[in-house]
Each structure stands twice: as C-alpha cells, then as structure tokens.
C-alpha cells in the first residue's frame, strides 16, 4: 500500500502561509513597512493604487541587500533577524518569522529593486506566483523598492472576499498610522492613486500624533509619564470630554510595536471610571517599553498580540499612571464643581493661626433717640454712620392727588364689575375631551387607552421608528428640509473618517445637511436637518461613523437604510426623558401613522397591548 502522507510543494505551503499572513492589501502594507523600518530607513514612501488591489509599493533608503540576500529573502523561513531559538526571547526587530515575503510572492506579481550603499549596481528581481521570472543588474539608488501588483491574481476566491475599495483603503490607513506613530523619527509619505494623503516629517511623538489626526488633536492630549522597574510608560491620553462612540484612536505600542490587548484596554477604562458617558470610548496613545525577555511576541502570525510575564502588575501600573495624569491636569472631577482656585489656601499659610477678631459693642446706642449722630458710637469704619432724618409731614406728599385723578377721569364716581363668574370659556363636553389620553410610566413607557383595553409604548423604540421612516423618506424622495445656521459648524475628523464622510456626502445632503466646505481633515456645515439641533450634529456624525466601521453598503438603498437607522438611534428620545402630555400623544399618533409601527428599525417590539379581559382575569384571581 502506497504512503498517503507527503510533503507539500513549496508553492502550496506558501499559499497556506499567505492565508495566515496576507489577509488583505493592508497586510502587505504592514509587512513591507516593517521590513523598511528594520532596514534602518529614515525615509519611507508608500504608494497605493485602487486600495492596494492593483499596486502596493514601499520605497525606502535603508541598508539594501546584495545579490544573494535578494534571492534568499523570498525563500520560506529565511530571515536575517534571528540565528538561534534563544533569539526569539530577545527581539528588537519587527519581522522575524521569514514568512512574509514568501507568502506575498506566492499570491501576487512582485518586483523588487535593491542596492547597498557600498555597491555600484543593484539587483532587480521579478516573481509571479512564487516563480522567478527574471533577475537582472540595474542602476538603482541606495535602499529597497518593493512593488506588489495584482494581489490574489491566482486565487480568485480570496480576491472575491475583499471588501469595497473604501473599506480596504481604510484598513491600509490604519496600518500606515500604526507604523508611523510607532516611529516618529522616520519620514513617511503616503500616496493613493497619485494624490498625497500624508506627509509626515521626523518629529516628536506629540507632533506626529497631531500630524496624523488633524490639528485639533493637540488640545485633547494629556501627557502620561511613568517609569518603573517593570515598564516605562510615556504617551498621551485624551480628555474625557473628547471621548467618541468608536474605538478608533486607541493605540498601544510595546517596544515600538503596535499591539491589541483587551486586558490593558480595561486598565485604561478603569482609569476613566466616572469620567465618561455610557458607551463613550477614550482615545489614547501609549508607548510601553519592557525588557524583551519578559514578553512573547510569537503567539500570532500577525504579531499584534503579546503575552506578558506579569500582566497584573502591568495592569495596575498602567491604570494608576493614567489616572494620576488625568487628576494632575485637573481633568478628574472634584467634589465642589464650582470651586474657585483663587480661594484655595496657599501652602505658606498652612501653619499660621488665624487672629481672633475683636468685638466692640456700644451699650449706650439707642436707634430711637433724636440725636442726628450717635456721638458715643465708635465702630471703626462705620463710625461716620448718620441716622436718617425723619420725613416731617409725610401726608403732604399726597396733597392734591385726589383732585388730579378727578381732573384726568372727569368724575370721582367709579363703578367696578363684580368678580362673580358668569360663565365658562369651555363647554362641559369640551372639558371632557381634554382629559389626559396618555400617561408616562417611569419616564420609559407611555400608556394610552384604546377601545379594547390599553396600549403600552416604549418611547425610545417608538421614536426611533418614527424618525427612521422620516429620514428614509427624505433620502428616497430627495425632499429633505434644512435649517440654515447663523454660524457654520467647523468639525474635525481623522483621515479615514473623512473618507467615510466623502462617500456618504450625497446621502447626508439628502437628509438635510448642507456642506459648505470639505478639506482633508475637517468639514464646514452650514445647514442641518430640521429635527436636528446644532449641539447634536457632532454626536450624529460620530454615531454614524461608528456604525459604519465595518464598511459602507454597496447599494444606495442599503446605504440610506444604514444612515437612517444610525441617525434615528442618535436622535431618538432616550429612556429617562420626561415628556409632556402633548409630546406623548404626538409620539403615539406618529408611531401608528408609520408603515410598520410594530417594530423599531432594529427589529425590537415598540408596543404591547393589554385587553380589558386580561385585566379582569388578573383581578379575578
């Protein structure tokens, strides 16, 4: 019987590894940028076409490779980063597994150009699907250029799983930002379809954060600094009032490597305890430096997860340092919210005793005496006090007043109507009609009587349904009304958020928004929908961007549906809001005027009914 276990061919093994390492164009961007950083480059350019599906190119001025290394770098498990197993526990570089370039070459057309500084000529290699097409000598500048074209050209199924260009581009921006924030000393430039998206010269950490996330970010940052034997922490946390609905701007860097850690994120949330609204997420940019032998990076192919030796101590230090920074910069609330710092006792007065005030009482003082001035009173600053002179013949002030009234009115006889109520403004039948037909319970439910019993309405879900159908109708019929703002709103967003707003701009205009100006990092809004207040605009857009983190639907109806749901969720009256009788009745009437009043836009029931028979059964027990 023949053997059934065989060694996989190299091209098949590379494609399997590519399934772990290369999930989308952003994965290629990450690997190539990290290789450029490991090559000690000081200037790195990223060039993207069609969201990375057509081209991903990284050009650096690093060390470069000789002819032998240029050929070996595409072999599986070939790396310059480690020599023995012990090196895995003392890593100072990004890539070390030796799978990235081999995996990329297995599923794309790759063209590499590289040259070392001391060499006169460089090497150009072209590979298509793990097959070497050509290797030539070329005149090149110092460094390496990696061009990856037609990703997943030989795996159509994987290519079909890719999202839209907008979503893939957002993932590429995320990876670029992570590398750029981790290395502020490197010059990064980013081009997409011929347009420059980022130009980041070498700078400090704070300047790099501001350059990546627009100019308004600077006023949000609170410095965090702590140094212990276990970890050194530096970076910035954002003020609680700038917290967002989404978790986009949250970055942990361990030894200049971006990581994801739900455990450390919980430590940050614990530091913000009591400072955030429900559902709000703080932004932070924290750089942790730990001994390399206390972490294990090699637990995930993408190397975004790290295992720490002492996570509990790290949790406590991180939580305490962030909480200390928030309190030190007067971000954390104090007991007296109206406290004036000018009234605080200076530290130099803490040991001084207050002087006992002296009290002087004039026992001979008589406020009813006829003396114009009490000569016996000595009251310090009030010793010049003069008793007011009594007004003599005060009746003379009103002399002649009666005659003047008679002259004006022409008569001294007045007749007044009685205050007896002679009739009612409303008939008794009308009064009965004004009896409350709706009642609010616990500021959450509205109870309204109906012919068969009563209906109990969830006010938040009902309002969501009403607003949802209104927005959807406006976007479909293109007849939304706008209210013009006296002073236009200037709202700042990150680069990937601005991409989403650009894609949603037409749908937002159909809901009633008027965009006066759009730039790479902010928008100017001069008109808003009639049922949106000026203070709610930023909340509505933040909620919308949060709901669309996973991508924008392709079809226009699905896009409008998503926007209508998000805006309805943001603007609907919340549980705990007290409503007037008129508002309750309008909400109930508006709900049952909807096409589908039974459920909210999120398929939750909006009301229940109870018949009189059901109530009778309850009392019959």
Q: What are phi and psi of 199, to 5 degrees?
A: -140, 100
| Tens-place pLDDT, residues 496-525 | 778 788 878 888 888 888 888 887 778 888
pLDDT for the residue numbered 332:
53
Compute the distance between CA of residue 285 and CA of residue 384 in angstroms, rounded to an integer. 66
**pLDDT-based confidence at residue 45 (cuts at 50, 70, 90):** very high
- What size, in residues, is the chain? 621
| Tens-place pLDDT, residues 349-395 | 667 777 787 888 888 888 787 654 445 444 444 445 555 555 556 66
Domain boundary among 149, 176, 200: 200
Cα torsion 317, 319, 322, 324: sign: negative
| Tens-place pLDDT, residues 399-417 | 665 555 454 455 555 555 5
H-only helix segments in 183-275: 205-212, 262-271
| Percent of residues, the chain, with pLDDT higher than 90 | 18
pLDDT for the residue numbered 381:
47
* Residues 76 and 184 reside in one and the same domain: yes
pLDDT for the residue numbered 316:
92
Indicate whether 260 belongs to any domain: yes
Residue 7 DSSP SS3: coil
* Residues 124 and 213 reside in one and the same domain: no
Q: CATH number of the domain that 454 lies in?
A: 3.30.1370.100
Range of the domain at 165: 10-200
* Residues 521 and 536 reside in one and the same domain: yes
Compute the distance between CA of residue 325 and CA of residue 498 in angstroms, rounded to an integer. 31
The yes-or-no verdict on residue 202 having pLDDT over 90 is: yes
Residue 455 DSSP SS3: strand
pLDDT for the residue numbered 403:
56
H-only helix segments in 183-252: 205-212
Beta-bridge mates of residue 199: 189
Q: CATH number of the domain that 229 lies in?
A: 3.30.230.10
| Tens-place pLDDT, residues 313-357 | 899 999 999 998 888 876 555 555 555 666 666 666 667 777 787
* Residues 229 and 192 reside in one and the same domain: no
pLDDT for the residue numbered 577:
86
pLDDT for the residue numbered 131:
85
> Tokens 């836009």 appear where?
601
The yes-or-no verdict on residue 468 having pLDDT over 60 is: yes
Verdict on whether the full-model pTM lies above 0.75: no
* Residues 175 and 247 reside in one and the same domain: no
| Tens-place pLDDT, residues 425-457 | 444 444 344 445 778 888 889 998 888 888 899
Cα torsion 340, 342, 343, 347: sign: positive
pLDDT for the residue numbered 521:
76
pLDDT for the residue numbered 234:
92
Domain boundary among 200, 227, 245: 200
* Residues 147 and 291 reside in one and the same domain: no
Compute the distance between CA of residue 550 and CA of residue 252 in angstroms, rounded to an integer. 21
pLDDT for the residue numbered 428:
45
* Residues 168 and 222 reside in one and the same domain: no
198 to 6, 191, 483, 490: CA distances (angstroms):
49, 7, 35, 21
Arithmetic mean of pLDDT, 566-587:
87
* Residues 31 and 168 reside in one and the same domain: yes
* Residues 293 and 170 reside in one and the same domain: no
Q: Domains in the chain: how many in total?
A: 3
DSSP helix, strand, coil percent of the chain (3-state; round to 5): 40, 20, 40
pLDDT for the residue numbered 419:
53
- Cβ-count burial 451-490 (b if 16+ within 10 Å, e if not): eeebbebbbbbbbbbbbbbbbbebbeeeebebeeeeebbe
DSSP 293-325: GGEE-TTSTT----EES-HHHHHHHHHHHHHHH
**pLDDT-based confidence at residue 169 (cuts at 50, 70, 90):** confident
- Selection from 238, 251, 225, 240 nearest residue 317 by Cα: 225
Q: Which two tokens stand for residue 332?
A: 């954390």
| Percent of residues, the chain, with pLDDT higher than 70 | 76
Domain boundary among 328, 343, 363: 328
The yes-or-no verdict on residue 148 having pLDDT over 80 is: yes
* Residues 544 and 588 reside in one and the same domain: yes
Arithmetic mean of pLDDT, 224-230:
90
* Residues 451 and 538 reside in one and the same domain: yes
Indicate whether 151 belongs to any domain: yes
| Tens-place pLDDT, residues 10-22 | 666 666 655 566 8
* Residues 192 and 210 reside in one and the same domain: no
Q: Going along 81-231, which residue ranges are E strands?
A: 109-115, 122-128, 131-138, 143-149, 187-192, 195-200, 221-227
Residues sharing a CB contact under 8 Å with residue 588, sequence separation 6 or more, in sequence order: 438, 446, 448, 455, 457, 462
Residues sharing a CB contact under 8 Å with residue 269, sequence separation 6 or more, in sequence order: 282
Indicate whether 380 belongs to any domain: no
The yes-or-no verdict on residue 176 having pLDDT over 90 is: yes
Compute the distance between CA of residue 258 and CA of residue 197 in angstroms, rounded to an integer. 22
Give me the numbers of helices (H) and strands (E) for the chain, helices first please: 17, 22
């Amino acid at each position: 019987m023949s053997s059934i276990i065989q060694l996989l061919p190299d091209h098949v093994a590379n494609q399997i590894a590519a399934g772990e390492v290369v999930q989308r164009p952003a994965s290629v961007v990450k690997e190539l940028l990290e290789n450029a950083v490991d090559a000690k480059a000081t200037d790195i350019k990223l060039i993207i076409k069609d969201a990375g599906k057509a081209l991903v190119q990284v050009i650096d001025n690093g060390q470069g490779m000789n002819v032998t290394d240029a050929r070996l770098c595409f072999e599986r498990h070939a790396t310059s980063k480690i020599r023995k197993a012990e090196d895995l526990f003392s890593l100072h570089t990004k890539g070390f597994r030796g799978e990235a370039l081999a995996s990329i070459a297995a599923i794309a057309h790759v063209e590499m150009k590289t040259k070392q500084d001391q060499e006169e000529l460089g090497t150009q290699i072209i590979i298509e699907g793990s097959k070497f097409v050509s290797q030539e000598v070329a005149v090149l500048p110092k460094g390496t250029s990696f061009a990856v074209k037609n990703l997943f050209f030989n795996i159509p199924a994987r290519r079909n799983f890719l999202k839209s260009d907008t979503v893939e581009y957002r993932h590429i921006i995320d990876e670029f930002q992570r590398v750029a924030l981790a290395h502020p000393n490197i010059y990064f430039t980013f081009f997409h379809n011929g347009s420059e998206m980022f130009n980041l010269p070498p700078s400090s950490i704070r300047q790099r954060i501001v350059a990546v996330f627009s100019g308004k970010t600077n006023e949000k940052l609170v410095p965090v600094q702590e140094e212990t034997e276990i970890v050194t922490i530096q970076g910035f946390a954002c003020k609680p009032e700038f917290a967002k609905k989404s978790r986009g701007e949250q970055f942990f860097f361990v030894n200049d490597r971006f990581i994801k850690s739900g455990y450390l994120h919980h430590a940050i949330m614990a530091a913000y305890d009591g400072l955030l609204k429900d559902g709000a997420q703080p932004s932070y940019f924290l750089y942790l430096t730990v001994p390399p032998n206390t972490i294990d990076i090699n637990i995930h192919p993408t190397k975004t997860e790290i295992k720490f030796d002492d996570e509990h101590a790290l949790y406590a230090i991180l939580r305490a340092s962030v909480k200390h920074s928030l309190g030190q910069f007067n971000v954390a609330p104090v007991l007296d919210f109206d406290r004036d710092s000018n009234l605080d006792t200076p530290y130099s007065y803490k040991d001084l005793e207050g002087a006992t005030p002296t009290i002087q009482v004039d026992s001979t003082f008589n406020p009813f005496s006829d003396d114009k001035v009490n000569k016996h009173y000595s009251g310090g600053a009030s010793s010049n006090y003069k008793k007011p002179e009594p007004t003599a013949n005060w009746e003379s002030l009103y002399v002649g007043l009666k005659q003047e009234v008679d002259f004006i009115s022409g008569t001294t006889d007045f007749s007044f109507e009685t205050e007896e109520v002679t009739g009612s403004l409303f008939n008794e039948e009308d009064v009965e009609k004004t009896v409350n037909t709706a009642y609010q319970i616990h500021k959450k439910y509205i109870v309204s009587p109906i012919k068969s019993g009563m209906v109990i309405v969830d006010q938040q879900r009902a309002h969501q349904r009403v607003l949802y159908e209104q927005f959807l109708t406006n976007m479909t019929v293109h007849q939304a009304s706008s209210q013009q703002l006296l002073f236009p709103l200037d709202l700042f967003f990150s680069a990937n958020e601005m991409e989403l707003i650009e894609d949603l701009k037409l749908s937002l205009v159909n809901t009633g928004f008027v965009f006066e100006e759009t730039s790479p990092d902010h928008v100017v809004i001069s008109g808003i929908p009639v049922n949106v207040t000026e203070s709610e605009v930023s909340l509505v857009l933040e909620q919308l961007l949060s709901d669309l983190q996973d991508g924008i639907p392709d079809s226009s109806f699905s896009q409008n549906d998503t926007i209508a749901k998000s805006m309805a969720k943001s603007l609907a009256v919340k549980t705990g809001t007290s409503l007037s009788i008129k508002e309750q009745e309008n909400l109930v009437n508006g709900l049952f005027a909807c096409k589908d009043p039974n459920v909210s836009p999120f398929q939750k029931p909006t009301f229940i009914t109870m018949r009189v028979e059901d109530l009778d059964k309850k009392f019959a027990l």
